[in-house]
Structure 1
Amino acid sequence: MEFGHNDKNNLTLTKFESMLKTNHVLFFDSEEFENIIHHYLNFGKMALAKKAIKLGLDQHPTSINLKLFKAEVFIFENKLKDAEILLDNLYAIDPLNEEIYIQKANIFSKKDQHEKAIDVLKQALKLTDDVVDLYSLIGMEYLFLDKFEEAKTNFMKCLENDIEDYSALYNVIYCFEYLNQNKEAITYLNTFLDKNPYCEVAWHQLGIQYFTLKKLKKALAAFDFAIISDDTFIGAYIERGKVLEKLGRYEDAIENYSITLKLDDPTSFALLHIGNCYEKLKQDDLALQYYDRTVHEDPLLDKGWIAITKFYKRKKNYQRALYFINKAINIDSENVTYWKLYAQINERLNFYEEAERGYRKTLDLGNYELNTWLTRGDLLIKLGELEAAVYNFEQAVDFYPENPELEYRLAGLYFTLRTPHKGTFHLKNALKLNHDYSFIIEELFPEIFSKVSVQKLLKQNYK
């Protein structure tokens, strides 16, 4: 249980911690020790929890509940054999104690033996009237097994026994979403809301399902009801803002996002979307102000840096765009989108070496889009790095075999490098794939295009 302020349990905790600072051992009854241990475990204070368990068992050596806490700590520390021995001893004393089964199931789960964990938890169900936690644990084990239908059924049972178990409600909806059962989720939520019409969480989740199905007016109505149920529900204002933004009602969207800034600390998500809305409204100064606030609020949010960079890119202010994308790269040099923007901006500025470096970096980071290979190779041609361009396009062929755009480029390069047999091979391949792309030779390799031998090849039919 949780310790409140100025109550008996809080005094017990204070008394216990005072005792630890002295050599005087004070007496606590077993229930007081249980509350102390539970408090420390909840707050992750494992060392203090272990001290409380030891002192508790020194004073109450036969307490099953204190021994169960000891077993729980063993499991947490991965001392599974010690936990099994202790639980077997406790089972011999009290075979009807459901907590013993829960801890045994925990061991099976730690060993990835989830089916066995479920069997043990189902046995525990027969021993208690307090079934909500057990159904939740069974649901989680089914999630580990990717058995979402079974998981969903058990989380639903949690709600049948406790309609305010919102963690179970979230898990039910998670299962529906994983199974792409958005319509079924809507039916379930509407039934749930018939029983609990002022549940802001259910209205919020219903709105998300409608939004996923692009039923924006119904989504908006659901978020309205979520806000009526709880006018401080930040998530509902955020989602309502997203719907209004989608509907092109940018001023209303700004109003909703702005409410979240007043209810709690500003979130980078809200700031970014306010900036997006102001940009749509062509209020550039305000858009920039919120983009700037976004990157200051969360420098690690790539969407903020991307938004402000693209803003300047759209305005053709490439120097300013380059300034911001450089700042972004200094924070996260492994972000593919940053490097792609870096390359595009440098290309616009005719900084071809830097542009090529940017595209090379995106490839190094695993971005193998055809356009990246093509643009980088064309830049290498401009820079006179013909052999590097050949290597680039040959690598690209591994990912995009029988691609005419690559074959024409390789043909032009090999003819330029005075390797006519390879040039002929690739040109014939290219013409077989798509004759209409032959303009690539003319645009990138005009001198090669004008050669009689190449013109002769271009006029032949290789189908």
Structure 2
Amino acid sequence: MLEEKAQYSMGDEERNYYNEALKYREKLIEVEETGYNYLLKGLTLSRLGRTEEGIDNYLKSIDLEPANPFPYNNLGFNYHNLGEYDKALEYYLKSMECLDYEETLLPFNNIAKTYRVLEQYDKAEEYLKKGLERFPNKDVFYESLRELYAIMGKYDEGIKICSEHMANVENVDINEIKRTKGDLYKLKGDLSKAKSYYEDAICKGKNNTEAYLDLGKFYLYQNKYIKALHYYKKTLKEVDETDYENLYEIYFHMAMTYKFLGFKKQNYFRKSIEYCIKDIGDEKEYFTDTGYTPARIHNITRIYINMGDIEKAEYYIAEMDKYKKCKGCPYGKCYEKFALMGMLAEAKGDIEEALKNYNIVLEYEPEYLYAYIAVKRLASKK
């Protein structure tokens, strides 16, 4: 792959792979200095978190092959991650000027992400539509437009995009799109339609982990705790034992639902932590800087807050400030940090502060379930 691409994690094995790859890239350049070889070296350095060195190699790549769109796109991605959004847009646009050399959808979606960070949502929509017009069979533009319309409150537009996605892209996951439509109808306030789409996503003879999990969250959204638990328990029967990400989610949601019912299920919270870090090994390694550390801190810290370990939660929230935003982040603010601050304020009994933070979360991520639940519950206590 020639483009910068988000990775969820990088353990020792993967890090060692990229270090070995870097040695190989350097030997290739010793043999022949080409734009392609500098592009590969820049990509490898960027994956290792050596952003400035990556930028230097992309610039060398451009000197040798100025018509190639990929080094411009990758420079844009690096500058986006550095928070230099004007420079990011400059290089993404240069990448688009080179599409006759080689077709790539990347700059369209990346420009839209940068405009989302700048909260220029109309511009983000413009470039996603341009990308969709040029690449009508690519999932990413339908998915990105759906997310954008949810933030903009254009739920009908999002629902329409879901229908177009099903019609125009081959081998698309129809059941996933049905669940997405359910999300949009839920945000729109049409719970009857939302329920019908969630239920229609259940498929006989197939694994229904995601469908049951979404139904559980749908009933939790309505404070129907027993119904929510019913579906979470069904999810546990469906989920593969190696599906650590969903196991982490299931046990967290079950623990939270029991908490709302007045029962402490600390063992479920501990199970959630166990599955959250299972791929990595231990908590310390889990927080190794991979470019996605703020999201990882959020994943663990929300559990500690709800377990009542305020001291550990405060420590981890303070740690978030040591890291840049997650790679490729399309949000103007780190909504996950505001979610943690809301939960922490709520745990301390500061309702006004909690509401302030939860409302910021919903501004950037309207589907954040626990912010919605908390706002509805705490607003009545003011």
Decide: shared fold, TM above 0.5.
yes
What is the alpha-carbon distance in structure 1 between the residues aligned to residue 147 and residue 213 of structure 2? Answer: 19
**1:5-154 equivalent positions in 2, closer than 5 A:** 43-44=14-15, 45-59=17-31, 61-73=32-44, 76-79=50-53, 82-83=56-57, 86-91=60-65, 95-106=66-77, 109=80, 111-112=84-85, 113-128=87-102, 130-154=103-127
Counterpart position of 1:441: none
Q: Is the 8 A contact 1:238 1:270 kept in 2?
A: no
The structure with higher relative contact order (CA 8 Å, sep 6+) is 2
Q: Per-residue CA shift, 1:191-238, capped at 9, x if unaligned? A: 333445852332222111111122111111111233339943534322
Q: CA RMSD in A?
A: 4.2
Q: Which has the higher helix share?
A: 1
Q: Which of 204, 216, 239 lines up with 1:241 in the alignment? A: 216
Q: Which of 222, 227, 235 lines up with 1:260 in the alignment? A: 235
Q: Is the 8 A contact 1:101 1:123 kept in 2?
A: no
Q: Which of 168, 172, 180 lines up with 2:145 in the alignment? A: 172
What is the alpha-carbon distance in structure 2 between the residues aligned to residue 140 and residue 98 of structure 1? Answer: 18
Q: Per-residue CA shift, 1:248-301, capped at 9, x if unaligned? A: 765543332112223043533331355268x4xxxxxxx73x734333334756
What is the alpha-carbon distance in structure 2 between the residues aligned to residue 229 and residue 116 of structure 1? Answer: 49
What is the alpha-carbon distance in structure 1 between the residues aligned to residue 232 and residue 145 of structure 2? Answer: 28
Aligned identity (percent) is: 14
**1:24-423 equivalent positions in 2, closer than 5 A:** 43-44=14-15, 45-59=17-31, 61-73=32-44, 76-79=50-53, 82-83=56-57, 86-91=60-65, 95-106=66-77, 109=80, 111-112=84-85, 113-128=87-102, 130-159=103-132, 165-195=138-168, 198-228=173-203, 231-245=206-220, 251-262=226-237, 263=239, 264=243, 265=247, 267-272=250-255, 274-275=257-258, 279=261, 288=263, 291-298=265-272, 328-329=309-310, 331-332=312-313, 335-340=344-349
What is the alpha-carbon distance in structure 2 between the residues aligned to residue 123 and residue 52 of structure 1? Answer: 31
Label 1:202 to 1:268 Cα distance change in 2 as closer, same or farther (>3 A): same
Label 1:274 to 1:65 Cα distance change in 2 as closer, same or farther (>3 A): same
Q: How many residues align?
A: 277
Alpha-carbon deviation of 1:122? 1.9
Label 1:238 to 1:84 Cα distance change in 2 as closer, same or farther (>3 A): closer
Q: Is the 8 A contact 2:45 2:53 kept in 1?
A: yes
Counterpart position of 2:330: none
Alpha-carbon deviation of 1:77? 3.2
TM-score, scaled to structure 1: 0.49
**Unmatched 5+ stretches in structure 1:** 3-38, 280-286, 307-323, 341-361, 370-463
What is the alpha-carbon distance in structure 2 between the residues aligned to residue 136 and residue 183 of structure 1? Answer: 22
- Secondary structure of the residue aligned to 2:265 is helix
Instruction: For 1:214, give the aligned amino acid.
Output: G
Instruction: For 1:66, give the aligned amino acid.
Output: N
Instruction: For 1:96, give the aligned amino acid.
Output: A
What is the alpha-carbon distance in structure 2 between the residues aligned to residue 81 and residue 217 of structure 1? Answer: 51
**Unmatched 5+ stretches in structure 2:** 3-9, 274-299, 316-343, 357-382
- Secondary structure of the residue aligned to 1:56 is helix
Label 1:256 to 1:159 Cα distance change in 2 as closer, same or farther (>3 A): farther
Q: Is the 8 A contact 1:237 1:257 kept in 2?
A: yes
Alpha-carbon deviation of 1:64? 3.5
Label 1:242 to 1:70 Cα distance change in 2 as closer, same or farther (>3 A): closer
Alpha-carbon deviation of 1:51? 0.3
What is the alpha-carbon distance in structure 1 between the residues aligned to residue 14 and residue 63 of structure 2? Answer: 29
- Secondary structure of the residue aligned to 2:101 is coil
Counterpart position of 2:321: none
Larger Rg: 1
Instruction: For 1:204, give the aligned amino acid.
Output: R
What is the alpha-carbon distance in structure 1 between the residues aligned to residue 41 and residue 201 of structure 2? Answer: 43
Label 1:210 to 1:331 Cα distance change in 2 as closer, same or farther (>3 A): same
Alpha-carbon deviation of 1:68? 1.9
TM-score, scaled to structure 2: 0.58
